[in-house]
A and B are shown apart, each in its own frame.
Chain A
Amino acid sequence: MSVRTTTPPARPSAPRPAPVGRWARLRRSGSGIALLFVAPYLLLFLVFRIGPTIAGMLLSLGQYRINGELEWRGLDNFQRLLQDTLFWNALKVTCVYTAIAVPLTVAVSLCMAQLCVRSIRGIAVYRVLYFLPVVTSLVTTSVIWLWLYSSDGPLNWLFGKIGVGPVPWLSSGAMVLPSLSLLSVWTRFGYDMLILLAGLLAIPAEYAEAAVVDGASAWQRFWRITLPQLKPALFLVVVLEIIQSFQVFDVIYVMTAGGPERSSYSLVYMVYDEGFHYFDFGYASAAGVVLFAITLVVSLIQRWLFREES
């Protein structure tokens, strides 16, 4: 509670007696106060996130019934996963979706951030508009897009007018993941754009000016100055996007139910299906643990790729 004494504003910094002892050492290093700062968050996190997660993951080692029975089965569930074509398919779908959705979303966000960074008339209005999809719930978005994508929906109607299609947006195994990725771009670019925009604005204008003097083209300036300077923001966006794509669920749940022919049956969908649809919570948990491990590894690789030279 010693913190409280520092709260009153504008108190002149009177010299204090030199503190002594362990607490003082901690205080001088700032380590004690740091722990105090993170404590409330960590406590809640530990109890309400990590606790349930560990409990949920432990189920992967057994067979759990909703009436409370738990029978330990070692690694059986994981062995079963390895032989399950459903699982391998789900893994493939998740990876393909991520491989399409993440670069697409990041690229669009980056382009839009570049466009929005200019201060031209009306830019504020654009920025407000672009953010609207982020504000909507995924379920609502999915229902709207379901109609937009339907074989006689507005998109195909429009395409028909120019003599193309009908495009089997959600009805062909090859098209379904790209279509869902497009939706992901629509829903997420406003969010990512804003983070990138903030990053772009933080780049000192002198850098670009100096490069212009040196005769660098716009493209060169983008590669040599903007991109490296944008690294932290870009890292943030890519990490969040990848996690998001690995966790893709709502959209699939509402729009395709994993179809057609399981071509959009993602790993998280499998976790849901095995758990709350088939009541096989142990197996669902095993699939979830694998997904967690994969996401973690990918994120660590990213962290290494984007590591800061300091």
Chain B
Amino acid sequence: MGEMEVSRRALLRVFGGGAVAAMGVAAAGCGSDSGQTVPANPDDVSGKVTMWIYPIDATHEKDWWPAQIEAFRKQYTKVDVTVTVQPWADRDTKLTTAIAGDTGPDVVYLIPDQLPQYAQSGSLADVSDVIASDKSDFRPNALDAMTYNDTLYGVPILMGGTGTLINKKVMAAAGITQTPASWDDMLAIAPALKAKGYYLTEYEADPAQTLNLTFYPLLWEAGGEVLSPDGKSAAFNSPAGVATLSYLKQLVDGGYVPTQPLTKTPPTESDPVAHGKVAVVTEFGVSDLFTMPGVNLADWEVVAPLKKTVAVGYGVVGGLSVLEGAQNKVAAKAWVKWLASPDQLKAFDKDRKYFSPRVSVGALFAGDPLTGAAEKFTDDTKSGEINPKARQVMDLIKPEIQATLLGHKSVTAALDSAAKSVNDLLARG
């Protein structure tokens, strides 16, 4: 990076003046140095670790950590750990600002939507050595989600799954006995549901909603991909893409989906799903159902992801990344390694109703009719496009899909125009 880097921390110098020198920042930021792996003996590790986590388990997140830190310090007596629970709101703004000011945490919770951008900007450290000894225990789709440019930048600690959620009560009310497994099944039962005043499903085209939960899973189900394998050109305008958008258009035109979510996702309290108006839900996971007010869980069942050609759903992966600017990478990695151990994950994931990225942890929710059923499909999930431009790509596609569903553009015109702007974006490098 030598030449292109006109001056490291140029911004600081531009206006921070002499203070930059006082900072004493080592400019050796490029490339991860070797010799930073976690040694076998915990006593060889010492230092301070700060971790930022978010309220995954809403109000109780903060109370979870003191006991974990204590347990960790029984092994690693020379390491100090501080965990702070940060708000979800504006988390990228806070994290970017902190990294830019060299005051970021040592370890941070990231999801695949964020990871590639931080990795590309050189802010994350390679953590493949943390799981090197038992890599095979991690589910491949979990590792893929944390891998950018063939380098692992995060250790997965949780996975979410979206099976297909079915409201049995609604199905029964419309006299439908067979559970849909494919798009054709869906279209076949739609008129009967509509006749009784129900919606077949719900599709959120709100620009605030990620396509990872909406359009992409359908595209994957149709056998399509968002980008070409090299990540350099659009692939969603393939026949699979056309089929996906046409299917959605059919749902909208047929009146099989509520119209409000096409522009703005309603608050959960007034979501048609909460009101028992929707038969099949693919857009969110079981855990969302638990927190949705007014939902009677006994009415629901979870079945395999729908398919056109492939049965696949979206599943979030949450991981812990070590920042390149971490004061003490060895200590940070030791903490991450400890957290990602099977015993820890078992407790952590079970408590938060997420699934384990480790196979050896086994089924956490075997007895649970809904979560347990969804857990079975953990391997059938994908977590989105791992590309530093993924967000921009998404934001270019979103308005085009919305335009099609609102009847302002044809399916092919929308996909072609989206593909053109995505290709322009990717070509810019």
Contacts and interface: CB of A to CB of B under 8 A. Distances in A.
Interface of A: 51-52, 54-55, 58-59, 62, 64-72, 146-147, 150-153, 168, 170-172, 255-262, 273, 276-279
Contact of A276 (B29, B92, B270): B92
A52 B14 CA distance: 10
Contacts of A260: 205, 207, 263-264, 399, 402, 406
Contacts of A261: 399, 402-403, 406, 408
A70 B15 CA distance: 14
Contacts of A146: 264, 267
B392 to A, nearest CB: 5
Contacts of B8: 68-69
B402 A150 contact: no
Contacts of A66: 96, 99-100, 121, 123
A171 B123 contact: no
B196 interface: no
Contacts of A59: 11
Contact of B264 (A256, A273, A278, A279): A256
A170 B263 contact: yes
A220 to B, nearest CB: 47
Contacts of B205: 260
Secondary structure dominating the interface of A: loop
7 contacts: A52-B15, A65-B122, A66-B123, A146-B267, A171-B263, A259-B264, A260-B263
A72 B264 contact: no
A278 B392 contact: yes
B114 to A, nearest CB: 10
B10 A70 contact: yes
Contacts of A258: 207
Given A151-B260, A260-B207, A67 B11 contact: no
Contact of A257 (B117, B208, B408): B208
B122 A153 contact: no
Given A68-B9, A70-B7, A171-B260, A150 B266 contact: yes
A70 B260 CA distance: 44
A255 B9 CA distance: 36
Nearest to A59: B11
Nearest to A264: B207
B6 interface: yes
B4 interface: yes
B6 A70 contact: yes
Contacts of B408: 261
Nearest to A259: B207
Given A66-B123, A262-B207, A278-B389, 12 more contacts: A70-B6, A70-B7, A146-B264, A146-B267, A258-B207, A259-B263, A259-B398, A259-B402, A260-B399, A261-B408, A276-B93, A278-B391
A158 to B, nearest CB: 15
Interface of B: 1, 4-12, 14-15, 29, 92-93, 96, 99-100, 102, 117, 120-123, 205-208, 259-260, 262-264, 266-267, 270, 324-325, 388-389, 391-392, 395, 398-399, 402-403, 406, 408
Most chain A CB atoms below 10 A, which of B11, B120, B206, B389: B11
A277 B123 CA distance: 15
A152 B270 CA distance: 8
A150 B270 contact: yes
A66 B395 CA distance: 22
B5 A171 contact: no
A5 to B, nearest CB: 36
A69 B96 contact: no
B270 A153 contact: yes
Contact of B15 (A54, A62, A67, A257): A54
A178 B146 CA distance: 43
A55 B14 contact: yes
A195 B100 CA distance: 41
Contacts of A279: 96, 117, 120-121, 388
A67 B266 contact: no
Contact of B267 (A54, A147, A277): A147
B29 A67 contact: yes
Most chain B CB atoms below 10 A, which of A58, A66, A147, A152: A66
Contacts of A276: 92-93, 96
B207 A150 contact: no
Contacts of B389: 278
B15 A170 contact: no
Given A276-B93, A279-B121, A150 B267 contact: yes
Contact of B206 (A147, A257, A277, A278): A257
Contacts of A151: 259-260, 266
Contacts of B120: 279
B264 A171 contact: yes
Contacts of B10: 68-70
B207 A67 contact: no
Contact of B11 (A64, A153, A168, A277): A64
B121 A71 contact: no
Given A58-B14, A256-B207, A67 B99 contact: yes
Contacts of A147: 267, 270
Given A277-B391, A279-B96, A67 B270 contact: no
A150 B262 CA distance: 12
Nearest to A54: B15
Contacts of A64: 11
A67 B259 contact: no
B98 to A, nearest CB: 9
